[in-house]
Structure formats: structure tokens, C-alpha cells
Chain A
């Protein structure tokens, strides 16, 4: 009997401890459940910042998508002969490639966070306009992520709700039409509810109405080209561009120039006194928003010293060679892994385009002996793009002088903020006003079968800023037919947007990538400095050599996706 009492007592004690069922209910202290968030403006902003942040990752605009994966067009190539690190730019990737995986994973992470935002943003906690504005921003980012995904991978799975569990693994790809339909829907919602530059609610650096319209125009142009080839979309592209242009909130960062007549020869030439092209890009480099011309950009800032990872690689991986200082803090190191192609230089020269050539292909470097040197040889690995330069010579005359032994030639750091070796403060443009102008010109030409005067005018606006004469004067044939005008657009976009991560997808939608890569190969082999036994030169040919049009117009699905998504099949050839 006594025994039973003891056992009873014993269990009473144990029940006392757990009498409260909550004993095992613990909530995390340092993180928060998804249902407890999105309930006020601060939380919504933190959530949006988290989505933006993904676009600034190394895998997206931070480095890979904006630089390494964009190599391997007529713009330029990865120039290292020792390795093939920029696999996608060399067309040497497989489905297990980390670029293929990382871009996919990051964009879908942004999509999932946008989906979650869409589901969880508490409607009754906000005024309607504010609620819609916040939602529009999340949907803008989702649409952009999907637009990038279809650009790179074509048909993709399209989750529109946040991932709950494992059952989400198996999701078939959606057809291009369906994905585009959703992108259009999201951008349209965004363009209806976002504010424009100048609105009291506008915050610099964040998505705007015109950004949504402009990126939608880009999507329509893509739909009009390869692989959908839906020509009806040109009109819609034109319409969206019109909306941006007519909004009146954007303009080019203009150049001022005067025409000078040489009294001796009576030749006239244009002398640019204020270089708007340069000034515009200095804004990205210095991290100041050029809100007139820059419609949407990705912001980077070096805050690693505070333990924050908001920096990028712009200007380092695609920068002007700077090898002085051994990579120490304070020295604007750039490793120049990316070389511009002779084709680009030819294009500038043919068009007498010195403003943009000077900016994009300055052809100088800072050597580790303290000497600023010209890079005369386009086939040197040190021939590098200057668009996102971290530094410049203080005195251009140093280009032609040798350094005095024991001293160093002076340079100016253009970038603002702490200067560290591999990480930069330079912003990256996603959509510029000149792009909207040229997209209008391109769409208009297709819609009308001939460039309208407005199309010519917009092209001229872009040319004018670059210090070039109107196209009708410089090259009358270019506006004589639809085909010629299209060719001019191809060249103009080449010169205007070099190294802005637009070229590869322009060429793909135009169906020109293979052709232009052949031209690239010829331009290298035909270059006077080319030597077949030079291993560097041989390496420059890799992109054109390995390009296979049956495989390389889009990326394979990442191996991990194929392995775990039972509803998805790898593309043929992969």
C-alpha cells in the first residue's frame, strides 16, 4: 500500500513540473515568426530592404550576373589564360556550375520573400495607398526577378505563394507566355501604385512608377524577340517608353558642347565642354543618385568595417587595372579580369565617338611600380573597361611619362567611402533614361516599318550627349530603312550601354549572339598584334570557340533543381 502512495507522490511531482503544458512551448528570442511581422511601416521597410539586398548580392548585381556571366559577347571576354573561372562567360559551364546555381537561388529567394510579403503584409495596419505602395514595391522586385530568370533560363517554375514546406519541391516550369503574363501584371500593378521622382513619398534608390514602366518596356522588347518573337509587343514596348518619356521626370545628364571651326583647315569639330556621359557615371561611382537619368539602380557601399555586407565588386572585377599598394586598404585595387573587345573599340572609332570611348575604354593602368601607363595593345590582358573606374590619373600627361624612380605618379580616387581591395562602393545601373529613349526608337522602327521622326530624335538625344552629330548628318543611310535603323540601334546600344549587363540579352533577343561572337573571333585573330602562339590570345578566343548556339542561348537548370524537382526536366543537350 505504501508503495503505491510513493509512486503516486512521485508522479504528482512530475506532473507538477509539467502541469503547465507550456513548459515545452518556447519561442525564438533572436528571430521572429513570419506571422508576427509585416504589421507596421518599419517592419515593412525592413522586409523590403531584405528583398532589395538580394539583388545586391555577389551572385546578382554585385558581381556574377552583372560582370562575370555577361562576359562572352562582342563587348568583351574573360581574359585569364590560367583558369576558366568565369565559366558562363566562357560557355564552359555545366548544370552543376555555381554561377548557374547561385543566380537561380538568389532570384528565387527574392521571389519567395516577395511572395511572403504579398501574403503577410497586414492590410488593416496601413492606409490603402500606403499598403498598395508597399505591395507594389515587392511585386516590382518579384517581376524584375522573374524577368531576369526568363532572360537567363527561359521557361522556369513560377511559385507565386511563399514556400511552406517540402511539397513545394515539385513544380513544373511555366511556359514563357504565362511567366510573362505574370511579369506584366506585377509591373503594371507597380506602375499604378508606385510614386514618381518628386513625390513626397519618393525615396531615392527605391523603385518608382517610371522604373516599372521602363522595365516593362524592356520585357515587351524581349517578348518581341527571341525566343517568343511576338512582334505585337513592340507597340506595347513603345507605349511604356512613351509613358516614361511623357512623365517629364527624367532627362539625360546633358553635355554642353560647342562647334569649333579650325581657321587653318576650315574643318569643324565638336568640342565637349561639359561631359554629361562622364558626369552621369561619376554619380554611380560616387554613390549619389542621378535621379534624372538613372531610373533604377542597385546601391553598394563598403560597410564591412561595421560588419555589414553591402558592398559590391563593380569597378574591381571589371575595373581599370590597379596593382599598386599590394591590395592594401586605401588603394583602389582592380584586377581587370575582363577585357573589352576590339569590336567595341572599332565601333567607337567608326562613329568618331570619343566621349564614350574615352570613358568606356580609357586604355590606361596603374602599375605596381607606381607608373601610370597607357595600354596600347587591345590584346593585352590589362586592356580593361573604364566605365566603373575607381581611380583616374591626376594628370593625363603621366600617361606618356615614365615614373621617376623612387616616386609614384599621382592618381585620384573617384569612389567615395572606405577603399578596400575587393569590395567597392560603386552603384550599378539597371535602367537609364537613355535606354528608354533607345528602346522607344527600336520599338517605333519596328512598329512603323521605318523610324519616325520621334525615334530619330530620341536616338539623336543620346548621340548628342555623346558629342555626336545628329544621325541624319553623320550617317544619313542609317535612317533610310527599317533595317539600317535597326543596325544603327544595335551599334548605338553597343556604344551607350557597354559593360552595363544588357548586351548578352540584347544579342540573344535579336538572334545575333552567335554571329557577333564569330565577329569577335575574327577581330581578335585579325588584330595586328595577334599571335597564334600567344597563350593569352588563345584564351581570348575561348568564348567564341566554346559557344554552341544549340545550348548557350539560355542556361541549363541547376543540377540541384533537376535532382530534387521531380516535375522538371533538364533541357535537351544538358
Chain B
């Protein structure tokens, strides 16, 4: 090659004088002014050429005026310059490796932030990395306006609930679509990528942005791109080691041993109707003098089940390569113990990314990812009956001096009604639950530039995930000891496979002041899912655990299932801008889905948006201090297609859920039932969204910000809608109903101090969203939901979704005090349990000391008709406030996050503050139970005149248990110290960073539960903000070191 070059140069020298040619010279720099050595300089359509020297200079002789110079340098845009009369050339090349903080990923492409016409927020990836979290979603709350991130509860590793701009769907899924390295993925598990591998994180919020994802865009899109290798011939090894401790910040206050004994004494006396008899005598015989327990320490069951736990975390990455070929390899290992004993989360992520420049026009990018995760321990938010946190609260803290034959905690082994109460420590320690996920994701991406204007981008992705969920109940668990299946185990294995390809052609051109960018593409996706389920019960021993279920004697019938769906899409985007002032964008996507039939198979999703950069206008420029001013308006239609694969087809199912016995031996005959009433007209849930936004910046963007107003109307809701049950169905999935979300988002960033040695930046965002149910099915005005947290008992609708109100409001009775003797009739001077006329009962027989409710309809009793909305589950506003500092080698980040003006259904209080005849403990309110001498109270009596004072089944929820959940949380503190380079040079290190981070540090709230960020209701948007025996959130404090060499 060098020889060839040599000869060429010699040849050129010889030719020098032959014709009217000249010698030219020049310098090549980057657009930011740095010198570029080694740039290829050639004359178009000839073999003539040279390259720049060490100082970026070049000389080329024998150049004709008609020649065109071509400058090529990897990583920079090719540039052609006509020679004409010039002899001196100062060339500046602009980089193709665009700087990530200015570039926003918009789906099938990217855009400069200044040129956006829609609402897209970018998350600073370093901020996510610098948090004491295990998955990236845990670090997201409070960072982005309009994005509400909430936990279901504190279960380790569990994916969080992310809702962008308010929930559209009532019975459907409101979580956003994830696009990872260009591929839209359903069921994306945040644990499956390492936070440290994320290169950019963008959130598409409005329809003008998300319409490019059509039928999957309505809930917003989170686009994540992962890191690539270095291209400068150097290699980085990066090792991060971090260790954390976690603890729950507070325990719920329960009765102390002395209080508990006093409570039992009072309860016994009440049960004897205040003349000491069997109960009272029994109490003293068992317990003796309550004063004996005054200083007894007792057992704090919460201390028994919670612990200070640790997280070990290791990240290793190697990044290297050349202009032509580069790679990024990373590996993450994370091992988390839960703060609840025998729970935990473990993950291993391996990621290999390879980039290769096949030719100067063709680039290959490939990725292979393997991820493993395992969430272990009882799912404490599952199941109605088994609740370890409940048991830890109600178990008595002290045992009597004389044995009363009860098990630890006060469970009566002979009382069948108490069989669901079980020593929570044993339950936790002997239940082996695992949720193991193995995910392999492979991705090949080819980018070919046909010219500097036209390029092809083709990505193909294959992903397979196996989720193996197993649960094993050992002998010493509730199920093992008292359950019908005894020692038993089950394994459910699901396999998800996704094959997809997405291909785009992009055309990019400029002429004069016009800039046009066009994109067309198509995408295919094929998903299949299979399920295998097996179970065995009544195992003779638990010594083998889940690993030898064959020793059980009563296997259940194995179950298999297979399903799948396909999506085929065309899409196009046209962008036009004039003179960097006026921007227009048009998107159309057509999605065809196997989930829908006939004419509804194809859906069309258009969006249009425009922006006007006022800051380019003279009258703004003249003001001087305004550096950014841009008005954006956008409107579009997007969809949600998250329904069962065959929801539009009427199907008969045959399975274990249905079947009957006949014949002389009562033989089982499987039965067919209609598993689904297919609505052949089923189609996408349609959201139309209008967004008006304004971006501003002052003083060269030292202060900048964004205001967005949006209105989203979701119609044709994919509602699992109530139907008239005479149809043979009680619910059918169909497109009915309408929900509206209206909101305002405000973000402001400020570079308060921006000096070499001291930087201070602040960022603040606040969002307001109003959610309203506009219509439901067939004139239906409300959907009532029983969250079903109370075991047994009557149906009690504690949530309501009513037209004109937000989705999922808390619905219950209004507390009206406690019945007092005055409320009852006296006959012959003796009080009876007959109420005075006009005073309603509470739905059951009442006596003084019973709970009284407001009889809304005045019919003299309390039932469903007296329920009203007693709690608003929608936050009035939420947001975050972060500050970051750089002082010399130190850096710091502090994030506050809040959510305000919403209510929580505190089911713990509804259960643990109601005195009952059982020996169980509870919250200190129990001490304040009504007695004939303690009448000024809100707590019912245990029993009076043989009438139990607690609420009757079906009438248990009243406004006493609805609490304001507003909170402000010091969410993140991160401190880092980069050891000065000169000190680590001797060690051969490039970088040595020490850091200390804390997450979830302190929460200011009036809420009395563990944590206001809780929602364990099992019906999604219909039952939000339910706190019932949930896994408390933990405080995490992390210390770590990051070494690069």
C-alpha cells in the first residue's frame, strides 16, 4: 500500500509540469477545531490523493480547477469540495459519532434535541448508574416529567410500575413499550440488562413521537441503546465492585407485651359483659397479674422476619477496538438478599457487542446477550390467606406464665379457622420459591450507506426466554403442615420466543435552506409462547426439596399450553425543515396483527407535528438573553394491542377447570366450556393525543426548560368489559369505553455554577395529570371491584371506576362514630339492643360499642347502597428535584422525589385496629376500644351485650382507613471521588473512583404504613394504592470502587 502510494506520488511529481495544473494545500480540523491527522484527501473519480500529516495539513499537486476534492475520515462525515480557483482549503469535518447528550433517539433514527417537534425526554444515564439500585427502573422515579414510577411493594428485583402521562387503559396493561437497540420488545424485564451497559435512555411521551410504533405506542416508549466499544485502538478494562446494606426504615408500631396483656384483660372482661366470669377468670389463671409483664421484652415478630441484608455487585467491562472493528464486552453479577428473610434476587448479565466497518459504506453491528435472573422467596403480595407480614403483626408478643396450649404467636392448633396463621419465620424459611429467567438475545444490524443521502438500516433480532417458576412447601410451612397438599411442589415453565426484523431506508438531503429527511420501513415480529405445568403433593419428606417431586403420591394432571402472535408493519416518517426555523414532521404507521380479524386486522396510525424555533428569529435574537425558544405542536393517533393472542375468536376450551362425572364408577369426562366470547370486531385501543410544548433557554442555555400540555383521549378501550350475564358471560374483552388524561409537565434545568473546579447543576420537574373515565360499556356507569384481600367473607366492593371520575377510586362507607347507649331503647329501665327509631343499624345486629356508619340512603340499614367514594387514588402532582455537584475530584448527586394529594387504602389498619375475641395482637389503637367507661373513641368494642362490635362482613371498609399518601422522599444521594490521575499512575490505572450511594433514604409523609409507595391490588388500574401486608421498601446504602485500566 505504501509502495503504491509512493509510486503515485512519484508519478504525480513527474506529471506536474505537463498541463495547467496547480498545487493546493490546506488543513483539516474537526468541527470543534481539533486537528485531524491521517484524513484521506483525494480527487474524485481518480486515484490521485494524499492524507493529512500530523498537524492536519495536506498538499496536493496537479489539481485542476474542475476537480472535486473528497475528504474521508472514519467517524466523520464525508465531505466533497469543488476546487475552482481556490488553493487554500480550511476544511472542518463534522463527526458522525454524534454526542449523546445532544442527540435524542426517536425510534428508527435520531434527532438533534434542538430540532425535535415532539415530547421526548432524555434521562442522564450517569445519574441512573450512580444510584444504589439493582435494576435501572428503580432509579427512574422523579427524573422525568410525566413519568410516574411506582413500586407495587418492596419485593427484591421486581419490575416497577411505569406509567407515562396517566393510565389509558382500565383493565389493560399501562406499561410502556421498550425498544432495546432498535427492537421493540414485549414483556421486557428491566433486570435483563445491566444499568452500566446503557448508553442512552430516551422516553417518547406524545403521540407525535410514539406514532412511529403505531399500535404499541399509546403507553409511551422507552428507548434504550447500549454501549459500544472504543474505536481509537485503546482498550479499557473497567471493574466495578460495590457492596450495599439494606434495611427497612421503620417497623409498624404494635402492642408491647404489657399493652398486649392489658388489652387481653380488657377484652376478657368485655366478653364477660363486665361482670367477671369464665373469660376473666381464664385470663387471670393463664396470665396472672398484668403488671408482671410491665417490663417484659417479649418477641417483636417484625424483628424476627426482617433483617439487615446485603447486596454484592460486580461489573466488569472491556471495551476496545479500532476504527474498523470494535467490541464491548460486559458482565454483571448481582446478588441481593431481601430484607425479609429467605428472599432475594440474583442476576447475571453478559453482553457482547461487536461493531465492524465492512467497507466505508457498510457497517455491521452485532450483539449477543445472555441474562439470568432468579427471584427467590415467598411472594408475599400473593394469595389471600398466607401473609407473613400480617402474621408478624398479629402474633402476640409474649406468652403467658401458665401455658395455654397455644402455639407461638397465639395460634390455636385446634381451631380450623386459624389454620392460615402460621409462624412467619418458619413459613419464610421453609418455602422455597424461585423465579428463574434465562434470556438469550441476539441482534444483527447492518447499516449501508448507498450515498451520503440514502442509507439502509436492517436489524434482525432473535430472543428466547425461559421462565421457570417453582415453589416448594416444606414440612414446616403453613401449606406443608395444614394445607390440603401437605409437602408439595410445583414447577411452571414458560418459554417465550421472539423473532423480529426491522428494516428502514432513510433519505436525507439539504438544498438551500430546506432540509428533508424521509424514512420508510417495514417490521415483522413473530412471538410464540408455551407453558408446561407440573405439580405433586403429599410428599413423604421435604429433604429433596423441589429436586425430587417424584416421591409424592398425588400428582396433579399436567398442563400445557401454546400460543403466539404475529405483527407486520409498514411505517414512514417525513421531516422537513426550513432555515432551522420551521420544522414539520409527518408519521404514518400501518400495523397488521394476527390478534385481530378481517377489516380490523390493519390499523393506521398517523401523527403530525411541527415546531417553530423562535430563537432563530431576529426579534428574539435581538433580546440577547434568550438562547432557546421553541414552540411545538403535535397530534397523533396511537394504539394499544395488549390483548390475548386469540381474544377476537370465540373459543371452546377443554381442561381441568370443567368436567363432570358419570357412568357406574363416576368416571371423569372432560368438559368443554367457552373460554372466550370472541368479538370479531376487536381492534386496537385508540389514543389520540394533542401535545403543545414550549422549550426555553436563557443565557446560552444556562437555564433551560420545557413546558408541555397534553390531552389524551383513549377510546375503544380494550376493556374486559362487564356484560349482561344472561349472555352466559360476565366479562368480554371488547372495544368500549373512553378515558381522558389531561396534563401539564414542567421541567427546568439550571447550571448554577459552571467553573472548572466547581460545577453545580439543578433540575426540577413537576407533572400534573387528571384522569377521567368518560364512558364504559353499553351505558354502564360504574365498575365495582372487590380487591379480594380479605379472606373469606362476603364480596365487598372497595374500589369503583365511575363515569366522570378517575379510574380506580376507593369506595366504602362513611364512619359515623360508635353506637352509644343513648342510641338504644330502654324498657323498664333496662337497655335493650333495639335501636331508637330513625337510627340505622350497621348491616348487622348492633349494641353500644358497635361501629356506626352513615346511612346514605336512609333505609335504616347499611349495605352496598350506602357506599360512596372515600378516597382518590390519583396524585395531584408528582415530580423530582435533583442537584449535582462537581468539586475538584469530588462529585455528588442528590435527588428528591415526591407524589402528593392521593389516598391509600390502608388495609393493614382496617384489619389490625379492630378488636376481636381472638388472642391476636395488633396496632396500639386496640387499647382504645370502646367500653362503657371509655365512650369517646373511634374504636369499636370487642363485644357488648353479647353483640360483637366489629363491622359485619361486607361492610368493613370505611373512611377511617383511607390515608393521605402524599410524600416527599430523599430518594438518592450519590458521592463520588476520582482519585487524582497522578496518584494512580504508579499503579498503572487509568481511573480509580470511590463512591458512596444511598437510595430511598428518608420519606417525609403522614402515611402511617411502612411506605406510601405501595400498590398490591391484584386488578391493576382498578385497584390502585392498596396496602395490605406488603413487602416494605428498604433503604439501601452502597459503597463501591470503580477501577479502569
Contact = CB atoms under 8 A, between A and B. Distances in A.
Interface string B638-675: 00000001100111111011111111101011111111
A379 to B, nearest CB: 14
A287 to B, nearest CB: 5
A43 B592 CA distance: 34
A26 B670 contact: no
A403 to B, nearest CB: 14
Interface stretch (B353-361, B773-781, B868-876): B773-781
Given A14-B503, A94-B865, A539 B651 contact: no
B843 interface: yes
B240 interface: no
17 contacts: A6-B505, A23-B566, A45-B669, A50-B660, A51-B671, A54-B673, A56-B660, A81-B845, A85-B953, A92-B843, A169-B778, A205-B663, A306-B555, A538-B845, A542-B845, A560-B722, A563-B781
Interface string A321-352: 00100111100010100000000000000000
Contacts of B947: 535
B44 interface: no
Contacts of B729: 109, 112, 163
Interface in A286-316: 287, 289, 299-301, 303-310
Given A30-B563, A31-B646, A53-B660, A564 B724 contact: yes
A333 B414 CA distance: 12
Contact of B484 (A92, A157, A171, A304): A304
Contacts of A287: 666
Given A206-B662, A299-B666, A306-B556, A166 B778 contact: yes
A561 B777 CA distance: 12
B110 interface: no
Contacts of B762: none
Given A53-B658, A109-B728, A564-B724, A84 B522 contact: no
B446 to A, nearest CB: 13
Contacts of A94: 863-865
Given A14-B503, A98-B795, A561-B724, A305 B671 contact: no
B777 A205 contact: no
A156 B561 CA distance: 38
A533 to B, nearest CB: 6
Interface string A178-214: 0000000000000000000000000111100000000
B416 interface: yes
B650 A26 contact: no
B679 A53 contact: no
Nearest to B943: A535
Given A28-B645, A308-B557, A49 B670 contact: yes
A510 interface: no
A307 B556 contact: yes
A368 B414 CA distance: 7
Contacts of A542: 845
- Most central of A2, A46, A299, A561 by chain B CB within 10 Å: A46
Contacts of A82: 948
- Most central of B413, B482, B666, B724 by chain A CB within 10 Å: B724
Contacts of A29: 561-564
Given A84-B844, A310-B668, A170 B556 contact: no
Interface stretch (A100-108, A250-258, A519-527): A100-108
B331 to A, nearest CB: 36
B498 to A, nearest CB: 15
Given A163-B727, A323-B416, A34 B650 contact: yes
B827 to A, nearest CB: 11
Contacts of B556: 305-307
Given A166-B778, A326-B416, A10 B660 contact: no
Interface in B704-732: 722-730, 732
B726 A328 contact: no
B945 interface: yes
B451 to A, nearest CB: 8
B86 to A, nearest CB: 30
A52 interface: yes
B462 interface: no
A14 B522 contact: yes
Nearest to B671: A50
Contacts of A98: 794-795
Given A13-B503, A37-B672, A564-B722, A329 B484 contact: yes
B954 A169 contact: no
B535 interface: yes
B728 A112 contact: yes
A166 B777 CA distance: 10
A28 B664 contact: no
Given A49-B660, A305-B556, A24 B954 contact: no
A410 B559 CA distance: 41
B520 interface: yes
B737 to A, nearest CB: 12
A140 B450 CA distance: 74
A168 interface: yes
Contacts of A514: none
A87 B864 CA distance: 13
Nearest to A331: B416
Contacts of A14: 503, 522, 570
A421 B946 contact: no
A305 B413 contact: no
A221 to B, nearest CB: 26
Interface string B516-541: 00001010100000000001011000
Contact of B661 (A50, A81, A205, A560): A205
A308 B657 CA distance: 7
Contact of A6 (B450, B594, B727, B948): B450
Given A51-B671, A165-B679, A168-B724, 17 more contacts: A6-B454, A7-B520, A14-B570, A26-B564, A31-B653, A49-B672, A108-B726, A157-B724, A159-B726, A205-B663, A299-B660, A301-B666, A307-B557, A326-B415, A538-B845, A560-B724, A561-B724
A203 B663 contact: yes
A327 B411 CA distance: 14
Contacts of A87: 794, 954
B724 A169 contact: yes
A572 interface: no
B84 interface: no
Given A83-B952, A170-B724, A310 B659 contact: yes
By Cβ-Cβ distance, the 6 closest A-B pairs, closest first, are: A112-B728, A307-B556, A50-B671, A205-B662, A535-B946, A305-B554
Contacts of B679: 165-166
Contacts of B821: none
A128 B289 CA distance: 84
Given A14-B503, A84-B844, A165-B679, A326 B419 contact: yes
A303 B668 contact: yes
Given A23-B566, A94-B864, A205-B666, A308 B844 contact: no
Contact of B843 (A84, A558, A560): A84
Contacts of A328: 482
A333 B482 CA distance: 13
B339 to A, nearest CB: 33
B493 interface: no
A498 interface: no
A87 B796 CA distance: 13
A400 interface: no
Interface in B782-828: 782, 784, 792-795, 797
B659 A84 contact: no
A28 B865 contact: no
A32 interface: yes
B885 interface: no
- Most central of A26, A94, A565 by chain B CB within 10 Å: A26
B658 A558 contact: no
B568 interface: yes
A301 B782 CA distance: 39
A96 to B, nearest CB: 4
